[in-house]
Amino acid sequence: MTVAGIPAVATRAGRPLLGGRRFSLDWLGTVPFFAYVVSFLLLPSAIIAIGAFESASGGITLDNFSHLSRSYIVKTTIDTTTLSAVTALVGAAMGALLSYAIVTGSPNGVLRRVVVSASGVLAQFGGVTLAFAFIASIGPAGFVYLFAQSHGLDYYAHGIWLFTVPGLAVVYLYFQIPLMVLVFLPALDGIKPQWREATESLGGTTWQYWRYVAGPILFPAFLGATLLLFANAFSAYATANALINQGAPMLSQQISNALSSEVGAAEPGFAKSIAVEMIIIVTLVTVGYTLLQRRASRWL
Amino acid sequence: MAVARRGFRRTRWIKLQVFRYVVFALAAVFFLVPLFAMFEFSTRGKYGERTLQYWQSVFQYPDLIDWNFGPAPDAAINASLELALITSLVMLVLLVPTMVWVRLKLRRLNRVVEFICLLPLTIPAIVLVVGLFPMYLWLGTNFSDSILTLALAYVVLVLPYCYRSLDAGLGGIDVKTLSEAARSLGASWFSVIWRVIVPNISNAILNAVLLSVALVLGEYTIANNLLYNNLQVELVHLGRTNAGVSIAVAGASLVFAFVLLVIIAFIGGRGRRVYAEPAAVFAGPLQGSQA
């Protein structure tokens, strides 16, 4: 705050002497902020970008990227992509249904406000606590499982799938669905009831309304939201690591392993190349999302 | 014809209401059962009775909590609380004067500051930590390897959320007129910020602080990969030996986070509507990439 005071004095004294705004020292007030973000946001990014092309001895190399073709990394990449795609599609479909149920109610109703606020909280509710919540409910000692088992439904008869990738998918839906509600609700709000009336007065059926009117208008928004959900699942780490502690089936866990291996085989260059792979995928998806949002806003 | 049409409308209306309430009921089950289960699980006794034994034994784990709230915390909860405090303070000292200054003197930098502040939303924490790792190795050997240095990284993590909150607060007051009035009455720039701007955006500041606290208390990725034991990392360790206590503490931290968010919703709901709704503040990368 004291720094913010310096430029004002300097400017006042300096302007007449230097003759003109060009020599204004106002920018000095932003130095602390920019120094901080350069040190703790841009420097780490640069370390990743440069380090990915650096060999252990310091030379320039593409070896780190050739390690990405190791069979377990290829399998992890495929698994992570599949999991993200499945949770994004299922989450988007369920979230869209929930959004539609909200939109068809009163716009200022209590129900709507409760669901929207809850979605805001739950979309951020990831991590360790979420994994614990599912272990405590549908896990092998959870009351849902004990209840189902005592009523003849043993859903772990073929193995405890909660601690595998399919189990992780169920857990991810817990934050994917609320995120979909937050992103998709504005699009649904943009649909005008007059369009439906117009369809009906022209003799269109409900199916035709959804197929030829509402569907094409909502589709870009839906697809964009699905991409956002994909990126969200793809970059998640805490939930996966708290739930699955063997085998590191997610790409984010592989980064963690390469970074500081517990058996002492850390490969920092390799960690950076996986990080670059991840950032490329997430960036592509985010760009797609932005383009689709722009397309969607044409009608909504 | 008209009667038939009304009948058709009515059937459709009933169908719609059935659909809505089925969806709401299913959503309520899916989202509430896991939350309820944490409290059921952590109060379950050996023979099916209800007990608070796990909740009471939280204080018997010195790795989890003790009375040392000094500059070198050795328990996870203490460290996380101190980190939340430091992160909030550094964030405010860094962000508030800069945002005010940019609005007053350097308007063309506004977009740049916004872009930088929202940037962490597009970089996954697990990616950021790869770049932070060598920096923390260097910090650890040359400066300090205290767990409290994590606050340096956490400030970056909370930047987007706090930026949006403070931006909404500053957008609701006339910063230029207020500061010109104060300056013409002889106030220093420090007084302008501390005695004129800050009191006027106190709700936005409180909002930003509560969001920071909630995010820092829930942070796992960075701490775990930089090999520090904060609250969430310790919960995972503890969960492998004593699931009951671990879930009790997780439940308690969840209640704490919910209380913070209810306070945010309460602040946002009264007075002039210049503050972002918690939903909007928490809405993830969507607003950032739309801008």
The band of A262, judged by pLDDT with boundaries at 50, 70 and 90, is: low
Residue B237 lies in a domain: yes
Tell me: do B36 and B116 sit in the same domain: no
Instruction: Tell me the C-alpha distance between B30 and A144, whole Å.
Output: 12
> In this complex, do B127 and A260 lie within 8 Å of one another by their Cβ atoms?
no
Q: CA B222 to CA A250: how far, in whole Å?
A: 17
Convert the pLDDT of each residue in A140-179 to its tens digit: 888 899 899 898 888 888 888 888 899 999 999 999 999 9
Looking at this protein, which amino acid is placed at residue B82?
A: E
pTM, rounded to two decimals: 0.83
Q: Between B2 and B11, where is the model more confident? A: B11
Q: Measured in whole angstroms, how far is the alpha carbon of residue A183 from the centre of its chain?
A: 12
Q: Which amino acid is at A296?
A: A
Helix axes B243-269, B2-42, angle to 10 degrees: 130
Residue A60 bridge partners (DSSP): A54
Helix, strand, coil shares of chain B, percent, nearest 5, are 80, 0, 20
* Helices (H), ranges, A38-126: 43-51, 63-66, 71-103, 110-122
The pLDDT value recorded for residue B2 is 56
With CB atoms and an 8 Å threshold, state whether B190 touches A5.
yes
What is the extent of the structural domain holding B10?
A: 2-42
Q: Is B130 on the interface with A (CB under 8 A)?
A: yes
B47 touches chain A (CB under 8 A): no
pLDDT of residue B269: 54
pLDDT class of A261 with cuts at 50, 70, 90: low
What pLDDT does residue B126 have? 92
Residue B168: how many other CB atoms lie within 10 Å:
22
Annotated domain spans of chain A: 70-127+165-296
Residue B3: which pLDDT band, with cuts at 50, 70 and 90? low
Best probe of the B interface among A9, A15, A30, A179, by most B CBs < 10 A, is A30
Q: Which of A248-252, A290-294, B85-89, B155-159 has the lowest mean pLDDT?
A: A290-294
State how far the Cα of A21 lies from the Cα of A18, in Å rounded to an integer.
9
Assigned domain for B53 exists: no
Give a yes or no: residue B47 inside a domain: no
Identify all chain A residues contacting B42, using CB atoms and an 8 Å cutoff. Answer: 136
Residues of chain A in contact with residue B163, where contact means CB-CB under 8 angstroms, are none
Cα separation of B172 and B205, whole Å? Answer: 13
What is the mean predicted confidence (pLDDT) over B183-197? Answer: 91
pLDDT > 60? residue B281: no
Residue B195 CA to chain centroid, in angstroms? 27
Q: Phi and psi at residue B5, in whole multiples of 5°?
A: -65, -40
Count of domains observed in chain B: 2
Coil, strand or helix: which one is A157? coil
Beta strands in chain A (DSSP E): none
Question: CA nearest A236: which of A260, A255, A261, A223?
Answer: A255
CA neighbor of B219 nearest in space, from B145, B147, B141, B116:
B147
- The most confident of A51-55, A190-194, B47-51, B179-183, by mean pLDDT: B179-183
* B156 and B88 fall within a common domain: yes
pLDDT greater than 50 at residue A1? no
Cβ atoms A125, A175 nearer than 8 A? yes
CATH number of the domain enclosing B262:
1.10.3720.10
Evaluated on CA atoms B195, B198, B202, B205, the torsion sign reads negative
Contact between B47 and A151 under an 8 Å Cβ cutoff? The reply is no
Task: Determine the straight-line distance between the first and last CA of chain A, rounded to whole angstroms.
Answer: 44
Give the nearest partner residue to A120 out of B27, B33, B283, using CB atoms: B283
Residue B98 falls within a domain, yes or no? yes
- The verdict on B98 touching A (C-beta cutoff 8 Å) is yes
Say how far apart CA B15 and CA B6 lie, in whole Å.
14
Fold exhibited by the domain A70-127+165-296: MetI-like fold (1.10.3720)
Cα within 13 Å of Cα(B90), Cβ side: 23
Dist CA A94 CA A102 (whole Å):
12
User: Cα–Cα distance between B74 and A203 in angstroms, integer?
Assistant: 73
What percentage of chain A's residues is helix, strand, coil (to nearest 5)? 75, 0, 25
Which tokens sit at B55?
């909740």
Lowest mean pLDDT among A18-27, A63-72, B73-82, B138-147: A18-27
* Structure-block tokens of residue B25: 């009921």
Name chain B contacts of A76, Cβ cutoff 8 Å. none
For residues B71 and B176, state if they share a domain: yes
Domain-located, residue B59: no
Secondary structure E strands in A101-251: none
Distance CA B16, CA B192 (A): 56
Considering chain A, what is the average pLDDT of its residues?
84
Q: How does DSSP assign B47-72, residue by residue?
A: TS-B--HHHHGGGG-TTT--S--SSS
Closest CA to B135 of B151, B154, B153: B153
The larger pLDDT score, comparing residue A44 to residue B269, is at: A44
User: What pLDDT score was predicted for residue A23?
Assistant: 62
Average pLDDT over residues A287-292: 86
Question: Could you tell me if A88 and A226 are in contact, meaning their C-beta atoms sit under 8 angstroms apart?
Answer: yes
A141 contact partners, CB below 8 Å, separation of at least 6: A135, B41, B243
Coil, strand or helix: which one is B188?
coil
A87 and A173 Cβ atoms separated by less than 8 Å: yes
Q: pLDDT tens digits, residue range B43-64?
A: 888 777 888 888 888 888 888 8
ipTM of the complex: 0.81
Residues 6+ apart with CB under 8 A from B72: B146
Q: Is B187 a domain residue?
A: yes
B120 contact A CB<8A: yes
Give how far Cα B59 sits from Cα of A203, B118, B233, B239, Å: 70, 39, 17, 16
Do B73 and B79 contact (CB within 8 A), yes or no? Answer: yes
- Given a cut of 80, whether residue B288 has pLDDT beyond it is no
- Flag whether pLDDT at A8 surpasses 50: no
Minimal Cβ distance to A26: which of B106, B278, B286: B106
Contact yes or no for A184/A268 (Cβ under 8 A) = no
- Looking at the fold, whether B7 and B81 belong to one and the same domain comes out as no
The answer on B29 and B84 residing in a single domain is no
Q: Which of A132, A271, A290 sits opposite B289 (nearest CB)?
A: A290
Handedness of CA A142, A145, A149, A151 (dihedral sign): positive
Q: Average pLDDT over chain B, rounded to whole?
A: 84
Same domain assignment for residues B14 and B109: no
State whether B127 and B268 are in the same domain: yes
Examine the domain organization and report whether B133 and B13 are in the same domain: no
pLDDT for position B107: 85
Structure tokens at B4: 């038939």
Residues of A in contact with B220 (CB under 8 A): 127-128, 237-238, 241-242
